Amino acid sequence: MQLTGAEIIVECLKEQGVDTVFGYPGGTILNVYDALYKHQREIFHVLTSHEQGAAHAADGYARATGKVGVCLATSGPGATNLVTGIATAYMDSIPMVAITANVTLPMLGKDSFQEVDIAGVTMPITKHGYIVKDVSILADTLRKAFRIAASGRPGPVLVDVTKDVTAALYEYTPKEPEKPEWVKKYNEEEVEQALKLLTRAKKPYIFVGGGAVLSGASGQVREFAAKMDAPVCDTLMGKGAFDGHNPLYTGMIGMHGTKTSNLGVSECDLLIALGARFSDRVVGNVKKFASNAKILHIDIDAAEINKNVRADASLVGDLKDILNTINSRLPQLSHEEWTSHIKEYMEKYPLKYDDSVLSCPYVIEELDRITGGDAIITTDVGQHQMWAAQYYHYTKPRTFISSGGLGTMGYGLGACIGAKMGKPDKICVNIAGDGCFRMNMNELATASRYNIPVIQVVINNHVLGMVRQWQTLFYDHRYSQTVLADKVDFCKVAEGLGCMAIRVTQKEEVAPAIEKAIAAGGPVLIECVIPEDDKVFPMVSPGAAISEVFDGDDLAGENAAQ
């Protein structure tokens, strides 16, 4: 049947099982929005307050559901406003298709109104990018985009379509969507080498990254840990792939990892990395990282092997498939002396905070208790992000959603809206600092427009907390541009944008506020006012070995000794 290019785009979205898209209209993409209007019962469009919010919402939708997220924008500034969201998805390997429209083909390259080479702009931050100038290739290009986004190591794909292509007629033939692909690159010899390392280790440690979530390997990771009888740590992106209540779990590793995880990995004789990329925030000083250990690295992306940390053995392929193979051949092992040693560390170095006053860790622990650890938690970036990773017990994958690689302030609220659209039966909470919240708080208008019952928790310490913490520790208390002591009233802002607002200043107000927000049935902001000098501990100084992890007690001891 003959359809316009815009109608072909909508039909291809339906082919791929897309039921929700996020975007903002404009001149060049009007034909697509007209086609969406005709299919609004099949594809629900969420009009965000800003294109960046649309990209973050598509990202959050993808992380919560495991499906490909979709965002739309017009040409020029509409397209460039997606860039931060695309880069966020790229750094964390999130499957997303960003569809933009551009000026007509005769106007390309002439500095036309709202013209920009968005494919060129996004080339370094996408798995692939297309410029569609011919309606005859439009459908197949979109199909390729979805397959590429979801195949192998996932990531964002851009499809830029000229406006005349969205208006042109062409024969459309429906097709069944192709399944995502991944290539098995490991062999029997590599499996045998891995099994030898695993069975010979006396002090193994398992290190779980975001690949365990993306591959759907949570069950296999848990079986593997039980067979290995080995302690387990995770990265920010790996949260929920391993049960946070499991006795083998020792918490996060890295700059704000637990002392147990950082010291344990520094002492182990075999580090088993499952879908992790050894980022600088995890590794610290590369030369001193896990210096006593052999390293077994399992990842879907061959480019990650030996990129940051040298591996003694590796397996490249889908983590779920590889662990199924290993688990079927791995005998039940016992490392009682080693696990007992790690448990002693856990008892000696628990996470702790000042519980005499209202604090972010207390708010998060109450949130964990009231939701039974079963909410989807999104965050922005900074101190609150680390506290959310430390003090909420994630028991399932896809329940912690945060910008890890890019560290995007302003990410969380859009992501929370996307997560709630994808998982409407889940309680969805975004935790943000006051600095982050200012960046995209306009998305509260999106939540109120559609009455999306997300809970926005603002941890308000009137400073840029993480940057101030660095200024305190490493810049001799020179607080350059990190104090936010102005007259912004977040509760009034939220109410002005159509949301309920609750201000919390005392510990005893936290639980009633959370319970009221959950029961509200619409978007709610909870502002929690905490002291400006609260710090995230433990911490590793930049460039130091993770074994040099310190906390507030260590700092107090140093100061007393001086």
Reduced to 3 DSSP states, what percent helix, strand and coil does the chain have, rounded to the nearest 5? 45, 20, 40
Question: Six-digit token pair at 48?
Answer: 């965000």
**5-25 core/surface letters (b: 16 or more CB in 10 A; e: else):** bbbbbbbbbebbebebbbbbb
CA distances from 59 to 31, 237, 329, 389 (A): 24, 14, 37, 19
As a whole number of angstroms, the distance between CA 25 and CA 272 comes to 47
- Annotated catalytic residue: which of 466, 469, 471, 500? 466
Residues 6+ apart with CB under 8 A from 196: none
DSSP character at residue 352: -
- Annotated catalytic residue: which of 7, 11, 51, 304? 51
**One-letter amino acid for residue 240 of the chain:** G
- Annotated catalytic residue: which of 42, 113, 192, 492? 113
481 tagged catalytic: no
113 tagged catalytic: yes
- Annotated catalytic residue: which of 114, 223, 343, 423? 114
> Parallel, antiparallel, or unpaired: how do β-strands 20-24 and 69-73 relate?
parallel
Phi, psi of 542 (to 5 degrees): -55, 130
550 tagged catalytic: no
CA distances from 13 to 7, 63, 240, 342, 393 (A): 10, 19, 30, 50, 36
How far does the chain reach from its first CA to its final CA, in angstroms?
A: 81
As a whole number of angstroms, the distance between CA 129 and CA 283 comes to 32
The sign of the torsion formed by the CA atoms of 120, 122, 124, 130 equals negative
Confirm if 127 and 116 have CB atoms less than 8 A apart: no
Question: Six-digit token pair at 555?
Answer: 């700092």
As a whole number of angstroms, the distance between CA 101 and CA 24 comes to 12
466 tagged catalytic: yes
- Annotated catalytic residue: which of 67, 127, 163, 239? 163
Residue by residue, DSSP assigns 278-336 as: --HHHHBSGGGTTTT-EEEEEES-GGGTTTSS--SEEEES-HHHHHHHHHHHPPP---H
Residue by residue, DSSP assigns 29-90 as: GHHHHHHHHHTTTTSEEEE-SSHHHHHHHHHHHHHHHSSPEEEEE-STHHHHTTHHHHHHHH
Active site residues per annotation:
51, 113-114, 163, 466
